[in-house]
Amino acid sequence: MNYQTVLEEIKEEIRPYLNKGTVANYIPALANVAEDDFAMSIIEIDGSEHHIGSYKKPFSIQSISKVFTFTLALDIYGKDLYKRVGHEPSGNPFNSLIQLEYEKGIPRNPFINAGAIVTTDSLVSKYKENTFSTLLEFIKKVSNDENIAFNKEIFKSELESGYRNFALINMMKSFNNIENHTQEVIETYFKQCSIMMNTKQLTKSMLYLANHGVIPNTNSEIITQAQAKRINAVMLTCGHYDASGDFAFHVGLPGKSGVGGGIVAVVPQKMAICVYSPRLNKHGNSLVGTKALELFTTKTRLSIF
């Protein structure tokens, strides 16, 4: 199948949706983007690349960073990680604090904020003050691109307005599920959210998940095959917050979205995909990104179902 043609068709078909939805504006730094921007990249395991739109323009990856920290923590701790963070969907967002209380500070999965904060805390326990640099090195390695950094302005804004995340980390600390200083963990967490990448880099960075844990062109094993499958499973069931079921239902691929407008997706044993468009639907996921991926699996029949 000619994926470049598919990308071009998708670009046409999503056009009527480009002015729908709303860019995240809880911090000014995030709102400051070209609202109708669009980019999409496909990279196959064999190395073939297909891109469309502004695929070289970096954006804030936000929660997509949770895939990287989950990978690193799973590599370090193996199944022990699940003592501190589960792998079940979380139900609606209203319940996040209730469940944290009810389940004694153990977040449901590593892709909700509480779970990602615990995951980052587990990295801080291992890498101390080098945690963020280690994470950044890892991302550069799986992206095969040295040119990746975080945005200081976004980081500072997040830190200044992240009261709800401070509430979450303090609640988990009260249940002894945070091992390090809350300030240190939360700063690392907001730094990882502020990393800037483009769709090409993000797509490349997901190939190890499409390829049983191994970076295809370098044959470098990042995690085991079993672990790669499990990360995919958690992306499918938990990757889109309260719309995870909807994403599985309409797109049918493991994926992870970020409030910056990016979505990554994995076609196991075939390819990785990334789409970017900053306006969000009511669930906080890229509206056009979700639509583009739905069109992609409809056209290519690559849904895993």
Contact residues toward a second copy (CB under 8 A) are: 86-92, 94-95, 97-99, 101-103, 108-109, 163-164, 166-168, 170-171, 173-174, 182, 228-230, 232-234, 236-238, 242-246, 248-249, 252, 254, 268, 303-305
The span from the CA of 140 to the CA of 133, in Å, is 10
Q: Which of 6, 55, 66, 200 is catalytic?
A: 66
Q: Least separation, in Å, of the C-beta of 52 and a second copy?
A: 25
Q: Which of 6, 23, 185, 259 is catalytic?
A: 259
Q: Cα angle at 162 between 159 and 96, to 5 degrees?
A: 145
259 is catalytic: yes
The span from the CA of 238 to the CA of 240, in Å, is 6
The residue length of the chain stands at 305
Q: Least separation, in Å, of the C-beta of 305 and a second copy?
A: 4
Q: How many CA atoms lie within 13 A of 116 on its CB side?
A: 28
Beta carbon nearer to a second copy, 34 or 167 = 167
Please answer whether residues 202 and 56 qualify as being in contact, where contact means their C-beta atoms are separated by less than 8 angstroms.
no
Please answer whether residues 274 and 40 qualify as being in contact, where contact means their C-beta atoms are separated by less than 8 angstroms.
yes
Q: Least separation, in Å, of the C-beta of 239 and a second copy?
A: 11
Other Cβ atoms closer than 10 A to 171: 16
Q: What is the DSSP letter of 162?
A: -
85 is catalytic: no
Beta carbon nearer to a second copy, 123 or 251 = 251
- Tokens standing for residue 232: 């995919």
The span from the CA of 99 to the CA of 97, in Å, is 5
Q: Least separation, in Å, of the C-beta of 100 and a second copy?
A: 8
Beta carbon nearer to a second copy, 156 or 230 = 230
241 is catalytic: yes
Q: Which of 41, 63, 122, 194 is catalytic?
A: 63
Beta carbon nearer to a second copy, 96 or 198 = 96
Beta carbon nearer to a second copy, 34 or 226 = 226
Q: What is the DSSP letter of 186?
A: H
Q: Least separation, in Å, of the C-beta of 214 and a second copy?
A: 15
| 3-class DSSP assignment, residue 257 | strand
63 is catalytic: yes
66 is catalytic: yes
Which residues does the annotation mark as catalytic? 63, 66, 189, 241, 259
